[in-house]
């Protein structure tokens, strides 16, 4: 569904024309999983699909939400901040609270959301909703926040209103993505650079496990707590704020301080993954796609064995993909426990790859995978 088709839906629901339309993409992370909240490096890019938001002002001070994805409607006002909903509107409401807390009135609009990001796939549908809401409110309230400030506000909303203790990567990639570019982002300093995705006959294929991810939020917060335990333990002899301040050699020197083998493995993944991102950025700049693929494979192995966030569905997709003709590398992407893999596949082998992996995955898991050939798009914007 494109923006013109969403306009027709808006007219049918609200009996009027929308005055503005906004868009924010999803994202895929090439490498650097669970490093963002550990002060490390990530290497994401924005996707061409995402979330549309069409709006029109209301005469009263209420805001009406409607989603074409969830067949859900609600009319709310400022009381919603104290009576937190459990439905998807907690994401835009959290961002509205950020604006209200800064003295801007977020109320009095008819809103229609439509997203073509697979829900629960780990491609940042929640960050896309947050950022598109922030860009909309920035326009209609004339708040004049720059994109980085809106990114911070959206992350703060998800941490403090939604209750998901995420890092900043998702919102950052959604907000400042650029077509055909990956973003090398230092999550500790928010310094970043664009790196051209010169694929030279290769495609990025995103594969959705289509596994429901019921435990993702709780397990995500659990992993973050385990990393904080590692920082506390190491800081007794070597003060650090984030695990990613350490390289592998330093980690090996101090890892005797960690309380148990589980915390050691969690920390080892984070620190080794941060090093892999550094090497992956260099590999892409140098056009060494074989090296990038190797690092992707190593990343998945670490996420499986040390961080334990994969599961049979993600492991089947990644490991079977790694064996296919024309594949340079494959790994899970996102928080884990379901969601998607990202695979670097020779362009002339994509069709065969999809056919074979689809069959193998179905045979092993009894689930149907969904495949997307990734097009790398721009970050959030006002359409009109």
pLDDT-wise least confident of 130-144, 198-212, 338-352: 198-212
The kind and range of the H/E element at 329 are: strand 327-333
* Alpha-carbon span 369 to 282, nearest angstrom: 32
Of 51-65, 168-182, 211-225, least confident by mean pLDDT is 211-225
* Angle at CA of residue 171, ends 169 and 175, nearest 5°: 115
pLDDT of residue 119: 66
Q: What integer pLDDT is reported at residue 216 of this predicted model?
A: 57
Task: Output the CA torsion 181→328→372→131 (10° steps).
Answer: -40
101 in catalytic set: no
Instruction: State both tokens at 214.
Output: 């019921």
Q: What is the pLDDT of residue 335?
A: 85
Q: Which of 60, 101, 146, 170 is catalytic?
A: 170
pLDDT one-digit tens code per residue, 264-311: 999 999 999 999 999 999 999 999 999 999 999 999 999 999 999 999
With 70 as the cut, is the pLDDT of residue 190 above it?
Answer: yes
Q: Are 54 and 135 contacting, i.e. CB atoms less than 8 angstroms apart?
A: no
Q: What is the pLDDT of residues 108-127, one digit of tens each?
A: 999 999 998 876 666 778 89
The pair of structure tokens assigned to 224 is: 């973050």
Span 167-184, average pLDDT:
95
Read off the pLDDT of each residue in 20-32 and give the average, rounded to a whole number. Answer: 96
Sheet of 192-196: strands edge to edge? 41-42, 181-186, 192-196
Residue of 2, 104, 26 whose CA lies nearest to 378: 26
DSSP letter at 286? Answer: T
pLDDT band at 192 (very low <50, low <70, confident <90, very high): very high
What pLDDT sits at residue 120?
A: 63
Mean pLDDT score, 307-331: 97
Phi (first) and psi of residue 128, to 5 degrees: -65, -45
Instruction: Indicate the burial class of 249 (C-beta count within 10 angstroms; 0-12, 13-18, 19 or more).
Output: exposed
For 222-240, what is each residue's pLDDT tens digit?
Answer: 999 999 999 999 999 999 9
pLDDT at 135: 98
> What local confidence, expressed as pLDDT, does residue 33 receive?
96
| Mutual angle of helices 147-157 and 169-176, in 10-degree steps | 150
Order across the sheet with 370-373: list the strands.
327-333, 340-346, 202-208, 370-373
Please state the length of the chain. Answer: 384
For the chain, the average pLDDT equals 94
- Selected residue with higher pLDDT from 229 and 167: 229
Instruction: Tell me what the mean pLDDT of segment 5-19 comes to.
Output: 96
The predicted structure's pLDDT at residue 41: 98
Q: Which residue has the tokens 């090996």?
A: 252
Q: What does the pLDDT read at residue 1? A: 84
């Amino acid at each position: 569904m494109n923006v013109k088709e969403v306009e027709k839906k808006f007219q049918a629901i609200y009996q009027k024309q929308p005055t503005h339309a906004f868009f924010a993409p999803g994202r895929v992370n090439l490498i650097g999983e669970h490093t963002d909240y550990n002060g490390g490096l990530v290497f994401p890019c924005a996707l061409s699909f995402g979330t549309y938001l069409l709006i029109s002002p209301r005469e009263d001070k209420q805001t009406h939400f409607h989603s074409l994805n969830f067949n859900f409607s609600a009319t709310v006002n400022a009381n919603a901040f104290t009576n937190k909903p459990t439905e998807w509107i907690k994401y835009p409401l959290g961002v509205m609270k950020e604006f209200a807390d800064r003295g801007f009135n977020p109320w009095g609009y008819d809103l229609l959301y439509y997203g073509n990001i697979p829900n629960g796939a780990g491609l940042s549908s929640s960050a896309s909703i947050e950022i598109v809401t922030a860009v909309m409110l920035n326009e209609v309230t004339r708040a004049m926040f720059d994109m980085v400030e809106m990114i911070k506000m959206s992350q703060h909303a998800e941490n403090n209103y939604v209750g998901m203790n995420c890092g900043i990567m998702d919102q950052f990639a959604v907000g400042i993505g650029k077509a055909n570019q990956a973003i090398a982002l230092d999550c500790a300093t928010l310094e970043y650079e664009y790196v051209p995705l010169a694929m030279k006959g290769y495609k990025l294929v995103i594969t959705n496990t289509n596994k429901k991810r019921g435990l993702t939020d709780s397990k995500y917060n659990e992993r973050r707590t385990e990393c904080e335990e590692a920082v506390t333990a190491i800081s007794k002899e070597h003060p650090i704020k984030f695990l990613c301040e350490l390289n592998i050699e330093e980690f090996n020197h101090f890892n005797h301080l960690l309380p148990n083998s589980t915390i050691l493995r969690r920390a080892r993944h984070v620190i080794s993954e941060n090093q892999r991102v550094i090497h992956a950025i260099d590999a892409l700049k140098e056009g060494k796609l074989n090296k990038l693929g190797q690092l992707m494979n190593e990343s998945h192995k670490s996420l499986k064995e040390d961080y334990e966030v994969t599961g049979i569905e993600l492991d089947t997709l990644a490991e079977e993909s790694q064996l296919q003709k024309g594949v340079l590398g494959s790994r899970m992407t996102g928080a884990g426990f379901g969601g998607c893999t990202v695979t670097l596949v020779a362009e002339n082998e994509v069709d065969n790859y999809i056919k074979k992996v689809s069959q193998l995955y179905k045979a092993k898991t009894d689930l149907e995978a969904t495949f997307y050939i990734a097009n790398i798009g721009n970050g959030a914007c006002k359409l009109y």
